[in-house]
Structure 1
Amino acid sequence: MIVNENLEYAVIGKFSYGWPEIQDLRKLIPKQCEMKGDCNLGLLSNRHVLIRATLLEDYVHLLSKPAFYITQNNWSFPMRTLKWDPLFNPEKETTIAIAWISFPSLPPIFFGKEAVFSLAAVVGKPLQVNMAIRN
């Protein structure tokens, strides 16, 4: 169902200090967050929006920064991004975090996406490998 509802690359945007209108956010977030693909936005609560990205690259980009600043009419609204979870509760802080994992001195035999993903799966669901492993 997650794939069917386009929730595979879903991110929660959390605004702690106000925000622009939702119709404005639908234009501002893709542009100001430098998203390459399409995305859909919807309200989850009075401080949270659901951002459904279509590209893995945008999903990783949204989760890799501690905050984005959405600017409109000389006002800047800080937006933290959180990994969406089917059990998301806007009244509670999420317990899910994104982490970068490093494997120092990794033998060349493991220089492949499948091998690195297999190693990283011990910690959680791997999202992406860095440029060195890709090349």
Structure 2
Amino acid sequence: MGSSCRISQLCTDPSQLSCKALNLAIIVKTPQGWPPFQDIRSHLTQRFQLQEDFLISAYDGRHLIIRFRNEADYYKVLLKESMFVHGRLFRFSKWSMDFSPNKDSPVVPVWLHMPGLPANFFSEPMLRTIAGSIGPVLHIDQNTSRMIRADAAVVCVQLDVSKKLPDRVWVGVGGGGSWQPIVYPAPPLFCTSCSRLGHSTMNCKQSATGGKKATTVQGPSEDHSRPTANVKATTWRPTRHVNNPVQDPLQKEPIPNSHVHEDTTAIQPVHGPPTTQSNIND
């Protein structure tokens, strides 16, 4: 029916078991560096009212790894996405096995709306089942869980924004069901050209630079070929008229040259009586 589907499968891969200590880990990208760890810990604890302590590790000069012990604390920070800590920009993202400091992970929290969802589906188990078919549910909006606003269910899920986001989900009830539309108010932008978050591939500076180079190379070759064709056309057209002999002998009279006398003798009957020409020769 033109809609994408998802399959969930449990796995006991040893590589996944080795990462158990990082299940509640967050990667922090700090383009401007970071303040002392003690300042980071006190700022995050007060800002998010964290319940338990957490560990901070330096990955490289621009990345930190924060490992939480409490799942609620983990989601509070992860859903913030970005903030300033003592004047330094912090960007939060979920840790994954394919993490690389040279590119951003496209797997990020995304808020989605399900407009017109029946009110009897606003219970938390129902919402987690429906939204869970789109991606792992990270958080349910309080206005949705308390049914303060029932025009649309608002849920935050984890999605790979480098791929096309599902625009609907099938909600089956017994032998029937219906398609539930999915709306993304502010989907994160991801560039597949440079593997960075924050801009689309069409607005990537690397792609735009390559396009400008291609344009400058083609421009001069086209401009150079046009005048060459025009010069050939204008050069040969006048010469065809010049080849036709001019039969009007009057054009030779204004030339004040003594060598003309030999030619003028032959054309004397045309200009006048020979007496005039003989007077000139005398």
Normalised by the shorter chain, which TM-score bucket?
0.7 to 0.9
Structure with greater helix percent: 2
**Aligned residue number for residue 134 of structure 2:** 123
| Counterpart residue identity of residue 9, structure 1 | L
> Residues 67 and 80 of structure 1 are in contact (CA less than 8 Å); yes or no, is this contact kept in structure 2?
yes
Q: Distance in 2 between matches of 1:101 and 1:55?
A: 25
Compute the TM-score of the two structures, normalised by the length of structure 2.
0.41
> Residues 81 and 93 of structure 2 are in contact (CA less than 8 Å); yes or no, is this contact kept in structure 1?
no
**Larger RCO (CA within 8 A; separation ≥ 6):** 1
Cα distance, 1:33 vs. partner?
4.9
Give the share of equivalent positions with the same residue, in percent.
26
Which secondary structure state, in structure 1, belongs to the residue aligned with residue 72 of structure 2?
A: helix
Matches within 5 A, 1:24-63: 24-63=39-78
| Counterpart residue identity of residue 67, structure 1 | S
Considering only aligned residues, what root-mean-square deviation do their CA atoms show, in Å?
Answer: 2.4
Gapped runs of 5+ residues in structure 2?
1-16, 147-282
Provide Cα deviations, 1:59-115, integer angstroms capped at 9, x if missing partner: 2221222422111xxxx1111111111221111121112111222222122122221
Q: Which has the larger radius of gyration?
A: 2
Which secondary structure state, in structure 2, belongs to the residue aligned with residue 37 of structure 1?
A: coil
| Counterpart residue identity of residue 140, structure 2 | V
**Aligned residue number for residue 83 of structure 2:** 68
**Aligned residue number for residue 112 of structure 2:** 101
Cα distance, 1:34 vs. partner?
4.0
Q: Distance in 2 between matches of 1:24 and 1:95?
A: 29
> More deviation in 102-111 or 17-26?
17-26
Task: Specify whether residues 133 and 8 from structure 1 end up closer, same or farther in structure 2 by C-alpha distance, changes over 3 A only.
Answer: farther
Equivalent pairs counted in the alignment come to: 130
Cα distance, 1:134 vs. partner?
3.8
Provide Cα deviations, 1:35-55, integer angstroms capped at 9, x if missing partner: 333211112222111111223
Alignment counterpart, residue 93 of structure 2, candidates 79, 82, 86: 82
